[in-house]
């Protein structure tokens, strides 16, 4: 589809959404004039107020190959220190790099007032989740929210693509040779380790929360969509606050699966590089506590301002060639936050470093934002952490806002001249007020989030 037609589609879409909302007030387009072709929203906006109440991230943290918690993550980003290393995960013989988190193996899942209740959750994925919870005072923050709202009023909405599948992979190599039966220890732990709900089950048990819970599993958009669902649940009154985020850990099926698709680079990934040749897999856990601003948040606090979800409706693993699904997600996030493209100071790209993903995301970003908005991918630092990529991007976005910093793109030496967005190679120190973060997944599942300070 030629670019003009793409715009026509979006403009119709946005106009219709705005009409549906039944608002006819004019909007302040903000201090920036959108440049380039990215003006679809501003031309058609008639909404005078945000379509969602900003939700404050009162606590947030992340653990990835860059380190544990905000300070280590920020230092690695600032110092351009990658967390990627040659693959040393178990006995995997795939020629690639990985973003493995140190010390996951040593985490003890248990303790507290109900050690037995927690020990059954023990697996790499939940160890990584616990390592995440333990950073930056997150546990204390969640406990305070529990006291403030009541355990039943705090939801746990997480994202994961493979949960604790490593347990099942290991169990299959220990099948009874005569009967094919799986080890009995696996049979009783399956629910608490590999079942897709396991990570949210573990986190709500650990934090003593009793509100609505689920794991969203839409591949690489999972933990971004957790923010959208939590925002709806708070607005619908199903809960007052939510622990959102996600966790995905290294496992055999992902390493050998992406190898089978020939989408993995043999070296550290090089997002947006003219010679990029595939992604690098990583693992991470990230969490945020979302609360309404009338209950929390000081001036300068980081808030979720908008979200946009869409599908490509095209292919299981190849994005729509014109990026129409991605465009739709970004436009919906702008509409939701009553912001224009010119209001966004930085775009945290999904940026996996496969040839087609980066190229199509670039097409989509350029068609919404033009060349004026700086963007970059941090996958060269963390690797692609799949279902946890959304929350990892969200926490990096929050750090950009609070520390006046924009990361460049690591491992990349020359930006692909065919890309038309403003891809940053080097880090920048600059005030950042609003960040859009993209997460696009298998099955053509897209989610864009907008964060800002309030």
Partner 1 sequence: MILYVNGIGTLGPGLAGWAGSRAVLAGESPSCEAAPTEPSASMLPPNERRRSSESVRWALHVAQEAMQQGEADVREVATVFASSDGDTGVLDRLCTALAEPQRTISPTLFHHSVHNAASGYWGIATGSQQSSTALACYDSSFCAALLEAAAYAQIEEKSVLLVAYDLPPPPPLYAARPLRGGFAAALLLTRTPAPRNLAQIDLALSTDRSQDATNMDDAGLEALRSGNQAARALPLLAAIARQRGTLVRLEYLEDQQLLIQVTPC
List of residues contacting partner 1 (CB under 8 A): 20-21, 152, 161, 165, 168-169, 171-173, 175, 180-182, 186-187, 190-191, 195-197, 200-201, 210, 212-219, 225, 229, 232-233, 235-236, 238, 252-253, 256-258, 260-261, 309-317, 324-325, 328, 441-445
- Kindly tell me which of 51 and 425 has the beta carbon lying closer to partner 1: 51
Tell me how far, at minimum, the Cβ of 348 lies from partner 1, in Å: 20
- Kindly tell me which of 112 and 256 has the beta carbon lying closer to partner 1: 256
Selection from 406, 439, 440 nearest residue 422 by Cα: 406
- Kindly tell me which of 76 and 239 has the beta carbon lying closer to partner 1: 239
Residue 78 tokens read as: 């600032």
Half-sphere exposure of 414 (CA within 13 A, CB side): 5
CB-based contacts of 266, cutoff 8 Å, min separation 6: 95, 96, 97, 277, 278
- Kindly tell me which of 74 and 307 has the beta carbon lying closer to partner 1: 307
- Residue 46 bears catalytic tag: no
Quote the CA–CA distance of 304 and 296 in Å, as a whole number. Answer: 13
Quote the CA–CA distance of 287 and 135 in Å, as a whole number. Answer: 10
Quote the CA–CA distance of 454 and 451 in Å, as a whole number. Answer: 10
- Kindly tell me which of 61 and 229 has the beta carbon lying closer to partner 1: 229
DSSP structural state of residue 373: S
Tell me how far, at minimum, the Cβ of 233 lies from partner 1, in Å: 6
Q: Which of 44, 194, 201, 220 is catalytic?
A: 220
Tell me how far, at minimum, the Cβ of 213 lies from partner 1, in Å: 6
Tell me how far, at minimum, the Cβ of 267 lies from partner 1, in Å: 22
Q: Which of 7, 59, 384, 447 is catalytic?
A: 384
Q: Please, what is the end-to-end C-alpha distance for the chain in angstroms?
A: 39
DSSP structural state of residue 350: -
Tell me how far, at minimum, the Cβ of 190 lies from partner 1, in Å: 4
Quote the CA–CA distance of 378 and 127 in Å, as a whole number. Answer: 24
Which secondary-structure segment (H or E) carries 59? Answer: strand 55-64
Given a contact cutoff of 8 angstroms between Cβ atoms, the answer to whether 241 and 234 are in contact is yes
Alpha-carbon torsion 259, 76, 395, 433, what sign?
negative
Given a contact cutoff of 8 angstroms between Cβ atoms, the answer to whether 48 and 26 are in contact is yes
Tell me how far, at minimum, the Cβ of 92 lies from partner 1, in Å: 8
- Kindly tell me which of 98 and 252 has the beta carbon lying closer to partner 1: 252
- In DSSP notation, 108-164 reads ----TT-HHHHHTT-SHHHHHHHHHHTSTTHHHHHHHHHHHH-GGGEEEEEE-SSTT
Given a contact cutoff of 8 angstroms between Cβ atoms, the answer to whether 352 and 358 are in contact is yes
- Residue 447 bears catalytic tag: no
Tell me how far, at minimum, the Cβ of 245 lies from partner 1, in Å: 15
- Kindly tell me which of 351 and 441 has the beta carbon lying closer to partner 1: 441
Q: Which of 348, 350, 366, 375 is catalytic?
A: 350
Catalytically annotated residues: 220, 350, 384
């Amino acid at each position: 589809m030629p670019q003009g037609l793409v715009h026509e589609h979006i403009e119709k879409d946005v106009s219709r959404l705005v009409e549906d909302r039944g608002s006819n007030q004019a909007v302040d387009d903000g201090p920036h004039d959108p440049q380039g072709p990215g003006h679809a929203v501003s031309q058609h906006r008639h909404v005078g107020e945000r379509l969602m109440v900003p939700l404050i991230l009162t606590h947030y943290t992340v653990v990835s190959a860059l380190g544990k918690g905000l300070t280590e993550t920020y230092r690695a980003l600032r110092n351009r220190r990658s967390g990627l290393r040659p693959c040393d995960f178990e006995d995997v013989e795939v020629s690639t790099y990985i973003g493995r988190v140190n010390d996951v193996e040593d985490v003890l899942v248990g303790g507290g007032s109900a050690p037995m209740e927690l020990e059954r959750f023990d697996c790499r994925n939940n160890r990584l989740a616990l390592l995440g919870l333990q950073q930056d005072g997150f546990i204390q923050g969640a406990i305070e929210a529990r006291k403030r709202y009541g355990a039943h009023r705090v939801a746990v909405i997480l994202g994961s693509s493979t949960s604790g599948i490593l347990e099942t992979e290991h169990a299959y190599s220990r099948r009874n040779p005569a009967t094919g039966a799986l080890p009995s220890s696996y049979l009783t732990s399956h629910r608490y380790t590999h079942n897709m709900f396991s990570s949210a089950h573990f986190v709500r048990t650990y934090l003593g929360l009793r509100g609505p819970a689920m794991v969203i599993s839409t591949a690489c958009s999972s933990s971004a969509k957790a923010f959208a669902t939590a925002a709806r649940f708070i607005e619908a009154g199903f809960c007052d606050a939510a622990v959102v985020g996600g966790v995905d850990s290294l496992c055999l099926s992902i390493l050998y699966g992406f190898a089978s698709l020939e989408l993995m680079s043999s070296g550290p990934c090089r997002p947006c590089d003219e010679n990029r040749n595939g992604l690098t897999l990583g693992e991470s856990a990230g969490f945020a506590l979302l609360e309404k601003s009338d209950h929390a948040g000081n001036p300068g606090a980081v808030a979720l301002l908008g979200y946009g979800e869409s599908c490509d409706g095209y292919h299981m693993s190849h994005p729509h060639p014109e990026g129409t699904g991605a465009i739709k997600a970004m436009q919906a996030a702008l509409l939701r936050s009553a912001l224009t493209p010119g209001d966004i100071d930085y775009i945290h790209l999904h940026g996996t470093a496969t040839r087609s993903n980066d190229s199509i995301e670039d097409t989509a970003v350029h068609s919404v934002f033009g060349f004026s908005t700086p963007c970059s991918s941090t996958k060269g630092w963390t690797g692609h952490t799949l279902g946890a990529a959304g929350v990892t991007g969200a926490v990096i976005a929050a750090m950009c806002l609070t520390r006046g910093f924009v990361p460049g793109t690591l491992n990349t030496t020359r930006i692909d001249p065919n890309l038309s967005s403003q891809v940053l190679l080097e880090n920048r120190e600059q005030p950042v007020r609003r960040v859009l973060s993209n997460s696009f997944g298998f099955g053509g599942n897209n989610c864009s989030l907008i964060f800002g300070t309030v």
